């Protein structure tokens, strides 16, 4: 089985699968399962694994129209209910920010000027539009992958797209962006779209709370261009959101879902600070369950059934480092394969983990592009051919 995540900046998970399979050669029977951990590339991975891509025009992080997509599987195609996989970065990610002068459009790291502006005004509205589209299509389950967000709006934009109104003291709707939440006085959920019976799952591993030194603004705001003053402003605005949500009359009833009523103390719950506070909105308004990203997605994609008969699992990602051990795809694949007693090797662009650390994670051996090409730039530009050569080594050593 070939079950890697993407090599960020060079190869998608599906492209990694294809290159590894080519390197192993025609005499090796393979099962392809591109995987993801709920972050960037999740939709691409699940589409490559058999879901259908649904294209939708939605609002980008600063309100401009962008073409985004989510993944769809009919109930008749193997799931117990119709399932949509929505990736926040598709609609509301940093890569969706307009390029600054002199920068390339669509990059993961926009120029500082644009990011600073977006830190206060960027919205998650487009993500809500994707969810609304999936619900109208008949989704019985919506899986939300959080990662790469451009906004720190507490998920207010997402909920605006789903019919919730965030009002100031004059009863006027607030504009987009986290900074506007300073003026929040009331949350009107009477227009919330009908979500009764829809299961919401957040697939990810971010465990930050909404507020404070480990919260959404403090930890992730600087990555989105927020200055120290912006961070303080955004944290105060998110605190205002949490306080008004906790005291808005009738809100508790609006978040009842399948007999579950979520406490408005969710601001302190692990994961509430994910994606600029979108985790908070998912918990509070959608009664979402948080699941470990890679473990949940492996179950969704039928990993354990596909594993039957395999002699070896090849996983990987761009960099095998400390983050790998904290719920990233290779560690999750290795843990799942270990339950079936199947050995696992990994391919990667580079690695900083030693053999002992890899073995403790269930990875027997690791093969890095830098083993055969020391120039990092060449590893990025020639990742495909280099990966085929690595796969030849894997075949020689393990098959």
Q: Domain boundary residue among 263, 293, 323?
A: 293
User: Do 218 and 341 share a domain, yes or no?
Assistant: no
- 97-124 b/e (C-beta count within 10 Å ≥ 16 → b): bbebeebeeeeeebbeebbebbbbbbbb
Domain membership of residue 71 as a residue range? 42-293
Say whether both 287 and 336 belong to one domain: no
If asked whether residues 244 and 320 sit together in one domain, one would say no
Which tens digits make up the pLDDT trace of 257-299? 444 444 457 888 899 999 999 999 999 999 999 998 999 999 9
Q: CA torsion sign, 386 to 387 to 388 to 389?
A: positive
Of 181, 193, 197, 194, which is closest to residue 245 (Cα–Cα)?
181
pTM over 0.85: yes
Residues 6+ apart with CB under 8 A from 138: 82
Among 266, 293, 320, residue at a domain's last position? 293
Paired with 299 in beta bridges are: none
Half-sphere exposure of 373 (CA within 13 A, CB side): 19
Q: CA–CA separation, 57 vs 47, rounded Å?
A: 18
Let me know whether 217 and 121 are in one domain.
yes
User: Does the residue 228 lie in any domain?
Assistant: yes
Is residue 102 included in any domain, yes or no?
Answer: yes
Alpha carbon distance 329, 382 (integer Å):
23
Would 22 be classed as within a structural domain? Answer: yes
In a domain, 19, yes or no: yes
Position 164 scores a pLDDT of 96
Q: Are 22 and 77 contained in the same domain? A: no
Residue with tokens 């918990």: 283
Q: What pLDDT is recorded for position 78?
A: 61
Tally of structural domains, the chain: 2
Residues 326, 265 share a domain: no
Give the domain CATH number at 282. 3.90.1510.10
Instruction: Identify the CA nearest to 278 among candidates 137, 131, 99.
Output: 131
57: left (phi over 0), alpha (psi -120 to 50) or beta: beta
Structure tokens belonging to residue 320: 């095998």
| pLDDT given at position 319 | 96
Q: Are 279 and 367 in a shared domain?
A: no
Whether residues 351 and 221 share a domain: the answer is no
User: End of a domain among 237, 267, 293?
Assistant: 293
231 in the same domain as 131: yes
Please report the pLDDT score of residue 77 as a whole number. 63
**47 and 160: one domain?**
yes
| Same domain as 208, residue 107 | yes
| Residues of the chain under the 70 pLDDT cut | 77-79, 100-117, 249-264
């Amino acid at each position: 089985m070939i079950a890697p995540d993407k090599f960020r900046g060079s190869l998608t998970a599906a492209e990694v699968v294809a290159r590894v399979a080519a390197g192993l050669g025609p005499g090796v029977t393979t099962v392809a399962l591109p995987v993801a951990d709920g972050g960037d590339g999740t939709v691409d991975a699940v589409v490559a694994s058999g879901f259908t891509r649904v294209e939708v025009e939605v609002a980008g992080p600063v309100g401009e129209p962008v073409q985004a997509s989510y993944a769809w599987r009919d109930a008749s195609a193997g799931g117990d209910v119709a399932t949509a996989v929505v990736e926040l970065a598709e609609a509301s990610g940093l890569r969706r920010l307009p390029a600054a002068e002199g920068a390339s459009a669509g990059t993961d790291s926009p120029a500082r000027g644009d990011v600073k502006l977006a830190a206060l005004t960027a919205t998650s509205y487009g993500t809500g539009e994707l969810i609304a589209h999936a619900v109208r299509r008949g989704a019985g389950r919506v899986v939300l992958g959080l990662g790469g967000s451009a906004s720190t709006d507490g998920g207010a934009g997402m909920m605006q797209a789903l019919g919730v109104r965030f009002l100031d003291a004059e009863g006027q709707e607030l504009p987009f962006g986290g900074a506007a939440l300073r003026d929040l006085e009331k949350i009107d959920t009477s227009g919330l779209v009908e979500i009764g019976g829809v299961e919401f799952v957040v697939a990810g591993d971010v465990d930050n709370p909404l507020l404070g030194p480990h919260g959404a603004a403090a930890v992730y705001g600087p990555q989105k261009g927020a200055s120290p003053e912006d961070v303080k402003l955004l944290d105060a605005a998110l605190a205002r959101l949490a306080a008004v949500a906790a005291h808005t009359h009738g809100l508790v009833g609006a978040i009842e879902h399948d007999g579950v009523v979520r406490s408005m103390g969710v601001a302190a719950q692990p994961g509430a600070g994910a994606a600029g506070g979108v985790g908070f909105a998912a918990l509070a308004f959608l009664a979402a369950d948080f699941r470990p990203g890679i473990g949940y997605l492996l179950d969704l994609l039928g990993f354990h059934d596909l594993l039957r008969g395999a002699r070896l699992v090849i996983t990987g990602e761009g960099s095998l480092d400390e983050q790998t051990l904290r719920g990233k795809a290779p560690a999750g694949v290795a843990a799942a394969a270990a339950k079936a007693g199947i050995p696992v090797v990994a391919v990667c662009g580079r690695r900083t983990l030693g053999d002992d650390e890899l073995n403790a994670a269930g990875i027997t051996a690791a093969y890095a592009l830098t083993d055969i090409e020391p120039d990092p730039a060449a590893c990025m530009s020639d990742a495909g051919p280099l990966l085929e050569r690595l796969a030849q080594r894997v075949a020689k050593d393990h098959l």
